[in-house]
Structure 1
Amino acid sequence: MTQPPPDHADDAFAADLLRGHTDTIVLGALRSGDRYGFEIYKTIRDATGGAHEIKEATLYATYRRLVKDGLVEAYWGDESQGGRRKYYRITDAGRAVYRSSVAAWVATRDVIDELLETRSDTHRKGQPR
């Protein structure tokens, strides 16, 4: 059976879901190392094959909030690679929040899967049983 192409309402719903988890997504992008702002944007975009993007303005507001909350540290890189860039580094508190947020997401996803009866033995994404 062929699935119909996603419509605009599906895209809006997915974007709303992503927006609610922007902090966790950014923290996850920083777990593997320090990155500058636009690099984080590209990492997120590329992770979805370009299917979803988080607006740069949303990301920069997230960076400021994460720094203010002590979950991320910001510092200026050197100018050896062109223009000076602000880099972000996850803190120990940020790692703890990331782990907690992922655990909450997994628990929530499991409940929703059960309520929608979409879970199967092989956990096929989007395939009702």
Structure 2
Amino acid sequence: MITISSDVIRGYNDTMILYLLLQNDSYGYELSRNIREVSEEKYIIKETTLYSAFARMETNGYVESYSKNAENGKRRTYYRITDKGRNYYKEKCEEWNLTKEVIEKFIAK
């Protein structure tokens, strides 16, 4: 099975994370698992990549973090998308559509 190289998809990790946060607040492991499931195992985000994205997006104001006790009593850091993050997500979707349009011109059919 072919998987997606992290180099190819690096610029769209934020888009995937924000998409999932549009659905509901979440924590790192759950987001990682959801990315794996939605991509049908074709992309597995590395933990370091995920947490670097969280830090960058929080610094840029796209997400906010908060602590919450899980059902098992363990404290987890959850993330939620901000209004600025929603706008950034829309911009990244528009950028993707343009990128896809250009790249498809160079793909043999």
Asked if TM exceeds 0.5, the reply is: yes
CA distance in 1, matches of 2:45, 2:10: 8
Structure with the greater alpha carbon radius of gyration: 1
Superposition map of 1:1-129 within 5 A: 6=2, 11=3, 14-116=5-107, 128=109
Report sequence identity in percent: 37
TM-score normalised over the length of structure 2: 0.89
- Corresponding residue SS for 2:106: helix
- Corresponding residue SS for 1:20: helix
Larger RCO (CA under 8 A, 6+ residues apart): 2
Q: Which runs of 5+ in 1 are unaligned?
A: 118-127
Matched residue pairs, number? 109
Would the aligned equivalents of 1:77 and 1:86 in 2 still touch at CA under 8 Å? Answer: yes
- Measured after TM superposition, the shift of residue 79 of structure 1 is 4.6
- Measured after TM superposition, the shift of residue 46 of structure 1 is 0.8
CA deviations on 1:67-107 (whole Å, 9 max, x unpaired) are: 11100000001254331110000000000000001111101
Runs of at least 4 residues off by over 2 Å: 78-82, 114-117
- Which residue identity does 1:35 align to in structure 2? S
Question: Greater helix percent: which structure?
Answer: 2
RMSD (Å) for aligned C-alpha atoms? 1.7
TM-score normalised over the length of structure 1: 0.76
